[in-house]
Amino acid sequence: MRVVLAEDLYLLRDGLVRLLQAHGFEIVAAVESGPELLKALLDERPDVAVVDVRLPPTFTDEGLQAALAARRSIPGLPVLVLSQHVEQLYARELLADGSGGVGYLLKDRVFNAGQFVDAVRRVASGGTAMDPDVIARLLASNAGNEPLGRLTPREREVLELMAEGRSNAAIAQRLFLSESAVSKHTANIFAKLDLAASDDDNRRVLAVLAYLNGTRG
């Protein structure tokens, strides 16, 4: 699996390179600035990009803007964002087109190598890997959304776990429910959000996330 990595801090960048290589990933480019990232993504067309939001030269949103520009040229390019903070605008922009694998993890909440590697693989395969804090902020910012307000508290719990990229079996285990109960909650969520059901879990989650951010994708 080919990876382009963007991180301005040398020690963290080098550590991520070594970690991913140890788990069988091929690092085709490891860069430290927005312009370098965009060039690497367009030249290499990797299986997944792991991107810090704030990169040189201005340390504002170069990483995300480079990733978004690359996705316009390479529709569905999987992008996993690493950030120090929950930045809702960035998350909404990333999710807006509702296509391709997406992830948003907070650096200080990645507690072990397995968690991070699993997130990279999930995003590369077209799935989602969203930090619970990011999901909570997105849900809160759309609290006035009428269709979202139709959900029961349990359905919102299921939706949050879906957005993290969890399977129905994992959701059932987490909430101490049967898988059939989770399937019913999922069906209710789609009906209340006016979203067509799909057997493709990745597209299903992406559609829900796009809906929560004010677009159908």
The predicted-structure confidence for 165-185, as pLDDT tens digits, reads as follows: 788 899 999 999 999 999 999
User: In this predicted model, which residue has the larger pLDDT, 107 or 134?
Assistant: 107
Name the residue type at position 168.
N
**Cis peptide upstream of residue 57 (ω within 30 degrees of 0):** yes
Whether residue 34 is found in the same domain as residue 110: yes
The pLDDT assigned to 197 comes to 63
Residues 204, 170 contacting (CB under 8 angstroms): no
Mean pLDDT, the chain, whole residue set: 85
Whether residue 127 is found in the same domain as residue 80: yes
User: In this predicted model, which residue has the larger pLDDT, 163 or 98?
Assistant: 163
Which helix (H) or strand (E) is 67 found in, with range? helix 62-73
C-alpha separations of 154 from 143, 163, 188, 193 in Å: 15, 14, 11, 15
Residues 68, 92 contacting (CB under 8 angstroms): no
The pLDDT assigned to 217 comes to 44
Strand-pairing partners, residue 81, are 51, 104
Whether residue 127 is found in the same domain as residue 146: no
Helix (DSSP H) and strand (DSSP E) numbers for the chain: 11, 6
In a domain, 137, yes or no: no
Q: How far apart are CA 131 and CA 197, in angstroms?
A: 24
Whether residue 97 is found in the same domain as residue 162: no
The pLDDT assigned to 189 comes to 85
Whether residue 161 is found in the same domain as residue 113: no
Whether residue 48 is found in the same domain as residue 125: yes
Which domain-ending residue is among 67, 100, 131? 131
Confidence of residue 105 (pLDDT cuts 50, 70, 90): very high
Give the pairing of strands 26-31 and 2-6.
parallel
In a domain, 109, yes or no: yes
Which domain-ending residue is among 131, 166, 187? 131
Give the pairing of strands 48-52 and 79-83.
parallel
* Highest mean pLDDT pick, 38-42, 59-63, 107-111, 149-153: 38-42
The pLDDT assigned to 113 comes to 92
Token pair, residue 48, equals 């997944």
Residue whose tokens read 């949103």: 61
**Over the stretch 187-205, which tens digit does the pLDDT of each residue have?**
888 888 777 666 566 566 6
pTM: 0.79
In a domain, 136, yes or no: no
**Over the stretch 114-124, which tens digit does the pLDDT of each residue have?**
989 999 999 99
The pLDDT assigned to 144 comes to 62
Confidence of residue 74 (pLDDT cuts 50, 70, 90): very high
**Over the stretch 41-55, which tens digit does the pLDDT of each residue have?**
999 999 999 999 989
Q: How far apart are CA 91 and CA 134, in angstroms?
A: 8
Q: How many residues does the chain have?
A: 217
Whether residue 9 is found in the same domain as residue 106: yes
Return the CATH number at 40: 3.40.50.2300
The pLDDT assigned to 142 comes to 66
Whether residue 149 is found in the same domain as residue 114: no
The pLDDT assigned to 3 comes to 98
Whether residue 26 is found in the same domain as residue 121: yes
Whether residue 126 is found in the same domain as residue 146: no
Whether residue 171 is found in the same domain as residue 207: yes
Q: How far apart are CA 132 and CA 160, in angstroms?
A: 7
In a domain, 206, yes or no: yes
User: In this predicted model, which residue has the larger pLDDT, 216 or 199?
Assistant: 199
Which residues form the domain of 55? 2-131
Return the CATH number at 199: 1.10.10.10
Whether residue 95 is found in the same domain as residue 196: no
In a domain, 11, yes or no: yes
